[in-house]
Structure 1
Amino acid sequence: MAEPKELRASPLRRLQALPDGHGPAWAVFAPPPSLSPTAGAALDLLRCLRAAPEGWTRVLWLSDWSALSLNCVSGGKTTADDLKAICAAQDLLVGCLRALDPQLMAGVVVRRQSEAILSDPSNYWISVINAGRAHSLGAIRAADENSEQVGFVIATLMAVADALALGAAAGTGRVLCCSSPRDARSLQLAVAYLEGCAAYKAAGLSPPEVRVVEGVSLALKADAAAADADAELLLLDGQPDVQRKMKKAFCEPGNTAFCPPLAVARELVLGCGASLEVKRREEDGGDRAFGKADGGQLASEFAAGALHPGDLKPAVRDAAWGTLSRVRAAVAADKALAAAEKEVAKAAKKNKKK
């Protein structure tokens, strides 16, 4: 990555997303919103949040205006329609995260980018401009393979400003965390900018650290086409969807290198605090129960042939639906989330017509 140009000494201009005197913070950057949020994407975010050290404040950053510049969600004819759909998708995702791990999410500070920006728009946009002055266009474009489009350039510069807003601290730790390689490159660009910023150093601030928490694939098929609706479980799948998808999921006896039911069991079932009940005939070893800490044992027994796909897949199907039904119930019980789900469904319907 190209080194940023040295900035002239000047007062540091930045948005402060966290107040002065705030202790160590672990800021997780949510990926661009989707009208069809997958269970895997939600679990990746939970993994990022769980990685925070004890005693650190967990912050979940929702980049709604960056998503608007990326044109990743279309909600209608106007920019206001698009932004409404983006915010609804983000609200729905946060509600699902709270249903999946309520104890963890109770301690998470959720910040929406636009709300933070509007609290101090002048300093935020000046920090975006300064970031643009500090790097060549080539360095900015290197952060994203799609950066020939102007929206991606703007989103990358906004990521630098977001990092400055969240990661500026004196005498305390700050970590910027994500699971997306694209987001990681943008955050690394931000750190490079801060390391070369004289005003940043003069203010006694230390650049944040970027951490990438590797995501887990919950792909149900080895080579599924992008348009395959059964390629992955969605957060709001109904019971028939889960049954159909898990029935088609690849599951080869003894193969743990790629075994979607094992991954679903480990991450979506056991990882979310549920148990896995495998029903078997007595001559096949009888019923078997696996708890939260038994993911390794589950894989070992499957690899050894003690668990057959015919027994594992139905058990994972029912347990996965148990987890997702909890998510659906939480959405239905909350008026704001139910309204967000309707807005997302409306936007998805409009997108299908295009």
Structure 2
Amino acid sequence: MTGVLCRLLIVKENCCRFCPIGLRNLLEKKPTRPICYDGFEPSGRMHIAQGVLKSINVNKLTKAGCTFKFWVADWFAQLNNKMDGDLNKIRTVGMYFIEVWKASGMDMEHVEFLWASDEINKKSGEYWTLVMDIARKNNLLRVKRCSQIMGRAESDEMSAAQIFYPCMQCADIFFLKADICQLGMDQRKVNMLAREYCDLTKPKIKNKPIILSHHMMPGLKQGQEKMSKSDPDSAIFMEDTEQEVRRKIKKAFCPEKIVEGNPCLDYTRSIVFPKLGKVTVQRKEEFGGDVVYETYEQLEKEFVEGQLHPGDLKAALASCINEILQPVRDHFEQNDEAKKILAKVRKYKVTR
């Protein structure tokens, strides 16, 4: 197996959609490390998908030879009225996010955190010229189709500030000279806007950004397509206590023998196996004794066949999640600066 193919296989794990030909060409031909981009709004406490799953995906990309640029979207959070638009609170939440990733196993050697407000102010002429050009080349209807990136629906009433948001996020990709956009499926429409923009410029931009759209993890309750920060029981947060994790997992939706729409199986597949490599289910001898699952496929098969009971799966999942989160808890308990940041964030009211 060639080095490029190995790198390609590493990157494609957990991707819902991506262009293998474009990605392979990039990995083969670019003489320097490809630049990956992801942006995040500092918008409250971090749930496990943002924390652990993000770390897993970032580590895969840096291992494949990429440099990862995190765009700390403080101005974007202000535009989207997060933390009631209080930029000081938004900056504090951004620092909290960075502390979580440091503690969650993210390899920081090829990772940069760039604050949007700082970077834009350094090159304001370049940035706003780009934003205006993207805005001029698209109509309002096309921009509003990107409203999902802000957690909004197209039918929602939006402020004039929120209309800026998609054009700015599209501009970020080119401003950072990103080769790869590594974001969740909910961000796909603005990534497509960026690729469309490449055809609208004169001359056209030949090297379009490659989109890696990653799986969105569901909430813990029945029918929740994604976690909600405004509903604490719908998500596991990165500094939840052991007791909170066990309580939330115990209450989680987990229909017997059913895979589709089962958040407990989703967490096991997307987080536990990539992070720990196995799941140990502890049972009394009368119920078959302990069993160690080395692959997700093996676990799912026995769950569907009824050999693995939802109650046993939940107990094992809670233990695994607690093992994964313990270094984060320790960091916020033992590091004085991190502890102060978390205490502030916990007092903030999450605003939609």
The TM-score normalised by the length of structure 1 is: 0.77
SS where residue 38 of structure 2 aligns? strand
- Contact 2:80 2:162 (8 Å CA) reproduced: yes
Give 1:187-198 correspondences, 5 Å limit.
Answer: 187-198=191-202
Q: How far is 1:238 from its partner?
A: 1.5
Q: Deviations over 1:259-316 (max 9, x none)?
A: 333333333333323653321122332212235xx22212122222222223222222
Q: How far apart in 2 are the matches of 1:199 and 1:260?
A: 47
Output the amino acid matched with 2:195: V
Instruction: Tell me which residue corresponds to 1:179.
Output: 184
Output the amino acid matched with 1:307: L
Output the amino acid matched with 1:194: C
Task: Tell me if 1:244 matches 2:247.
Answer: yes
Task: Tell me if 1:221 matches 2:231.
Answer: no
Q: Deviations over 1:117-151 (max 9, x none)?
A: 12212221222222222222333223222474212
Evaluate the alpha carbon distance shift between residue 95 and residue 180 of structure 1 in structure 2; reply closer, same or farther with a 3 A threshold: farther
Task: Tell me if 1:96 matches 2:96.
Answer: no
Instruction: Tell me which residue corresponds to 2:263.
Output: 260
Comparing 82-91 with 155-164, greater Cα deviation is found at: 82-91
Instruction: Tell me which residue corresponds to 2:273.
Output: 270
Instruction: Tell me which residue corresponds to 1:37.
Output: 46
Q: How far is 1:247 from its partner?
A: 1.6
Give 1:1-354 correspondences, 5 Å limit.
Answer: 23-30=33-40, 32-46=41-55, 48-50=57-59, 52=61, 54-74=64-84, 82-102=86-106, 104-144=107-147, 145=154, 146=156, 148-167=158-177, 174-181=179-186, 183-198=187-202, 201=205, 206-217=207-218, 219-223=219-223, 228-273=231-276, 275-291=278-294, 294-348=295-349
Q: How far apart in 2 are the matches of 1:307 and 1:338?
A: 39
Larger Rg computed on CA atoms: 1
Instruction: Tell me which residue corresponds to 1:7.
Output: none
Instruction: Tell me which residue corresponds to 1:16.
Output: none
SS where residue 114 of structure 2 aligns? strand
Q: How far is 1:43 from its partner?
A: 4.1
- Contact 1:27 1:175 (8 Å CA) reproduced: yes
Q: How far apart in 2 are the matches of 1:268 and 1:23?
A: 27
The TM-score normalised by the length of structure 2 is: 0.78
Output the amino acid matched with 1:337: A
Q: How far is 1:28 from its partner?
A: 2.1
Evaluate the alpha carbon distance shift between residue 304 and residue 223 of structure 1 in structure 2; reply closer, same or farther with a 3 A threshold: same
Q: How far apart in 2 are the matches of 1:274 and 1:282?
A: 24
Q: How far is 1:47 from its partner?
A: 5.3
Q: How far is 1:22 from its partner?
A: 5.4
SS where residue 298 of structure 2 aligns? helix
Output the amino acid matched with 2:66: W
Count of residue pairs the alignment pairs up:
311
SS where residue 83 of structure 2 aligns? coil
Output the amino acid matched with 2:296: G
Q: How far is 1:180 from its partner?
A: 4.0
Q: How far apart in 2 are the matches of 1:347 and 1:229?
A: 14
Q: How far apart in 2 are the matches of 1:143 and 1:258?
A: 26
- Contact 1:44 1:216 (8 Å CA) reproduced: no
Q: How far is 1:337 from its partner?
A: 2.4
Q: How far apart in 1 are the matches of 2:167 and 2:252?
A: 40
Q: Deviations over 1:9-60 (max 9, x none)?
A: xxxxxxxxxxxx9542121233x33313221233443354356372122222
Evaluate the alpha carbon distance shift between residue 163 and residue 206 of structure 1 in structure 2; reply closer, same or farther with a 3 A threshold: same
Evaluate the alpha carbon distance shift between residue 149 and residue 284 of structure 1 in structure 2; reply closer, same or farther with a 3 A threshold: same
- Contact 2:238 2:328 (8 Å CA) reproduced: yes
- Contact 1:147 1:153 (8 Å CA) reproduced: no
SS where residue 348 of structure 2 aligns? helix
Q: How far apart in 1 are the matches of 2:247 and 2:180?
A: 40
- Contact 2:56 2:275 (8 Å CA) reproduced: no
Q: How far apart in 2 are the matches of 1:55 and 1:229?
A: 37
SS where residue 198 of structure 1 aligns? coil
Q: How far apart in 2 are the matches of 1:84 and 1:158?
A: 21
Q: How far is 1:177 from its partner?
A: 2.1
Q: How far apart in 1 are the matches of 2:291 and 2:344?
A: 42
- Contact 1:28 1:48 (8 Å CA) reproduced: no
Q: How far is 1:65 from its partner?
A: 1.0
Unaligned 5+ runs, structure 1: 1-20, 169-173
Indicate the percent of aligned positions where both proteins have the same amino acid. 24
- Contact 1:48 1:178 (8 Å CA) reproduced: no
Q: How far apart in 2 are the matches of 1:159 and 1:106?
A: 25
Unaligned 5+ runs, structure 2: 1-30, 148-153
